[in-house]
């Protein structure tokens, strides 16, 4: 049943305050568990302005982890991902891309902040919303676009498409159409690193909806029990398809999920790439040094529909507009860097050309042969 939760109000709500009711007044869904009952999680950084709902418990480092030059480079990558996904949407609507596509517009800071903190040899497992993670992990726009067009030149040689792409050479174990499917893979990969005494970390991306899937609990439970080098990155975009978090989870602070496993949790503003980066660095160091896995909770927002073409009848135009205006990670970083129009246009032109070229590359790619369809299928 569709409902309308005002995200802006949720963001402004102080910790412990009564939750915002949706239009149907689902009072039986209000949170009663968890608030204040557990050890506080560590909160990295502080959000600017009045939107912060979180009380910083322990501030780790102040701003300044990254130089302006580095931040500009992060900005370029986030904008590349944004322009890439906008182009994907355009070409999908034009009927050129097969399958079913999900974009992660609004969540770019999580992909870039986490992947930039990785070291060579670290691996990731992604979700059905995988393009940003894939680009940030090093797959080129050409290879990714070719994959979406189903071409042999694609990162998975056209066998994967948007929801099943992978790039083993770049340490990307793949997207996953099964919600929560990447989590046990990451526990398994991290167990292998531990067995082989390799200083590598396996990282899982997953959404808030996935925290209610059985594999989430199994994977995190074993990961903590065995103290494997894993980082579990929650991209908390507040929606699972059309279901708001208040209707799929009885607690309001999902970082508390980690408490059930005795796992260290770090919470960051997922719209602030530097904060994500800093939190990810800490999480990775913790995991790599043998102290066990970390739950990295990134508070973010999906600025577009669940899938391309989603009419979004479940959330109000005001909410969408509010978040676009106040919580877009790219605008946030642009303001922070004080990029003027000509600076911005220069970066935009550069990334737009890369994206345009990737479409040309993909269109000129090679179609797989029908007789090869069952190649690599194990029975
Ligand atoms: C095991 C499983 N159950 C249900 C679905 C259908 N489904 C696809 S995406 C989705 C929502 C997932 O929400 P979340 O994990 O928060 O990720 P988000 O879409 O917000 O990125 C659901 C329920 C699925 N693909 N796999």
Express each pLDDT in 298-357 by its tens digit.
999 999 999 999 999 999 999 989 989 999 999 999 999 999 999 999 999 999 999 999
Output the pLDDT for position 44: 67
Q: What is the C-alpha separation between 140 and 337, in angstroms, rounded?
A: 26
CA-nearest of 177, 169, 179 to 123 is 169
pLDDT at 217: 98
> 17-31, 127-141, 232-246: lowest mean pLDDT where?
17-31
Residue 376 burial by CB count (10 A; 0-12/13-18/19+): exposed, middle or buried? exposed
Give residue 178 CA to ligand 1 midpoint distance, Å.
7
Ligand 1 atom at minimal distance to the Cα of residue 213 = 1
Nearest ligand 1 atom to alpha carbon 240: 13
Mean pLDDT value across residues 207-217: 98
In the reported structure, the alpha carbon of residue 69 is separated from the centroid of ligand 1 by a whole-number distance in angstroms of 37
pLDDT of residue 14: 35
Q: Contact at 8 Å (CB) between 150 and 96?
A: no
Task: Classify 258 as helix, strand or coil.
Answer: helix
- Residue 28 pLDDT > 60, yes or no? no
Which residue's CA lies nearest to atom 4 of ligand 1?
Answer: 179
């Amino acid at each position: 049943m569709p409902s309308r939760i005002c995200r802006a109000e949720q963001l402004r709500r102080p910790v412990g305050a009564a939750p915002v009711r949706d239009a149907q007044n689902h009072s039986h869904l209000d949170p009663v568990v968890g608030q204040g009952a557990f050890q506080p999680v560590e909160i990295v950084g502080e959000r600017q302005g009045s939107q912060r709902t979180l009380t910083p418990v322990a501030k780790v480092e102040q701003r300044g982890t990254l130089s302006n030059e580095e931040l500009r480079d992060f900005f370029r990558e986030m904008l590349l991902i944004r322009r890439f996904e906008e182009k994907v949407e355009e070409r999908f609507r034009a009927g050129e891309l097969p399958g079913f596509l999900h974009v992660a517009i609004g969540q770019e800071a999580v992909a870039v902040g986490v992947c930039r903190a990785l070291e060579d040899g670290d691996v990731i497992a992604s979700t059905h919303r995988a393009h940003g993670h894939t680009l940030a992990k090093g797959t080129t726009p050409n290879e990714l676009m070719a994959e979406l067009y189903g071409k042999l030149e694609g990162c998975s040689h056209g066998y994967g498409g948007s929801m099943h792409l992978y790039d083993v050479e770049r340490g990307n174990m793949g997207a996953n159409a099964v919600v929560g499917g990447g989590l046990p893979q990451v526990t398994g990969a991290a167990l292998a690193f531990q067995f082989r005494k390799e200083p590598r970390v396996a990282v899982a991306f997953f959404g808030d909806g996935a925290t209610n899937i059985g594999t989430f609990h199994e994977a995190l439970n074993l990961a903590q029990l065995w103290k494997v080098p894993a980082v579990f990155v929650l991209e908390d975009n507040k929606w699972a398809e059309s279901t708001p978090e208040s209707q799929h989870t009885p607690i309001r602070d999902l970082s508390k999920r980690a408490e059930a496993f005795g796992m260290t949790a770090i919470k960051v503003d997922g719209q602030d790439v530097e904060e994500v980066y800093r939190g990810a660095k800490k999480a990775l160091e913790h995991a790599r040094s043998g102290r066990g896995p970390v739950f990295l909770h990134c508070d973010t927002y999906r600025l577009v529909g669940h899938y391309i073409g989603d009419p979004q009848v479940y959330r109000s135009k005001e909410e969408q507009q509010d978040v676009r205006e106040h919580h877009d990670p790219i605008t946030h970083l642009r303001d922070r860097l004080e990029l003027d129009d000509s600076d911005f246009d220069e970066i935009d032109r550069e990334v737009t050309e890369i994206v345009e070229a990737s479409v040309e590359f993909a269109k000129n790619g090679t179609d797989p042969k029908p007789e090869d369809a069952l190649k690599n299928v194990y029975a």
